[in-house]
Amino acid sequence: MRPSGSSILHDVHAAAGGVFEERLGRTVVASYGDGDAEFAAALDGAGIVEMAERGVLEVSGPRRLELLQGLVSNDVGGRRPGQGCRAALMTARGHLRFLLRLLVDEDVVLVETEAHRLDLLQSVLEHYRVAAPVRFQATPRFVLALVGVAGPNVLKTLGIEAPVSPEDHTRATLAGQDVLVARAGDLPGGGFVLHVAPEQAEAVWGALAAGGARPVGRDALDARRVEDLTPWYEEDITEDNLLHETGLLEELHSPTKGCYVGQEVVARLEARGGNVNKALRRLRLSRPATSGEAVRANGKDVGLLASTAVSPRLGPIALAWIHRSHFAPGTELDVAGAPATVVDDFGEE
């Protein structure tokens, strides 16, 4: 019997050897017992990952694009059906309330974010809607991820032409089920997310596995995210952060669009050269560490670990919030008494 509150795919994961862990208040599959093979699938092959923590809000009505265009940091209003973008929804002070994937369809915009925050997102959007003819509805969708350079080949084998540009998406049939497949800019290596009805998730998961994708746990996925400097909301980014601090400005922001919430802060930082007091940096660690540990230099705290991982090819690594005085690649730091080094690219220090 599936444990209360567990994923609808719990039995599928268990049958595949899934090792479950609690992370950020939710149960995830940390691995399927072969981390090296899972990492290889997420890098050079094809891997499938459950992302049940994601949810989808449908925004409809004749002024849906106009409303969203005036709120988010990227140019969603310029996207045609089948296109999309990632964007931030900020406070007036420029703090990041949500990171969103916005997928433009014929009659709706599908907004993907953390499932447990959909009610809050809807409340924020309704606050700004005023009397505009725009409607919001959380739609029951289960989100799967397909990662690794062979992902397009798996989709092709299953009769689906892989979208090419980030957040481009297509609707298709897989295992007799309707799915939406989107290129996902927030997955390492440019993977894909698949939106499916919850009752169809097991059939779609099985079809992807039959097409050559291997189940991948969060340990391997986190290693790929850290290597690629791909931060996620809650794991790495919170409302305490500004867009410039995340390294995601180019991906989530349009410098040519009109006004949006938080634009003044973004523009002011741009005018000052984008200088911020802290930012995400990659660290090579000398031993495994845990998210939340302090990063120190000369006996003083200069940062905090975000996502941590052990890469099969690089060893212990991490994303960390680092003070600007220690941004430079090659800077020697300390985590829990063990040496750590700031790296620009893991190929060279």
Per-residue pLDDT of 32-65, as tens digits, reads: 999 999 999 999 999 999 999 999 999 999 999 9
Query: Taking Cα atoms as reference points, which of 96, 54, 48, 57 lies closest to residue 217?
Result: 48
The whole-angstrom separation of Cα 200 and Cα 177 is 6
- β-pairing verdict for 142-147 and 47-50: antiparallel
Interval 242-275: pLDDT, tens? 999 999 999 999 999 889 999 999 999 999 999 9
pTM over 0.85: yes
- β-pairing verdict for 108-114 and 54-60: antiparallel
**pLDDT for 348:** 45
**pLDDT for 26:** 92
Instruction: Over range 152-157, report the average pLDDT.
Output: 98
- Sketch out the chain's domains with CATH numbers: 1-273 (3.30.1360.120), 277-349 (2.40.30.110)
Interval 283-313: pLDDT, tens? 999 999 999 999 999 999 999 999 999 999 9
**pLDDT for 349:** 41
SS3 266: helix
pLDDT at 344 over 90: no
Mean pLDDT of the chain: 95
Q: How confident is the model at residue 4 (pLDDT cuts 50, 70, 90)?
A: low
Instruction: Label residue 1 exposed, middle or buried (CB < 10 Å: 0-12, 13-18, 19+).
Output: exposed
SS3 190: coil
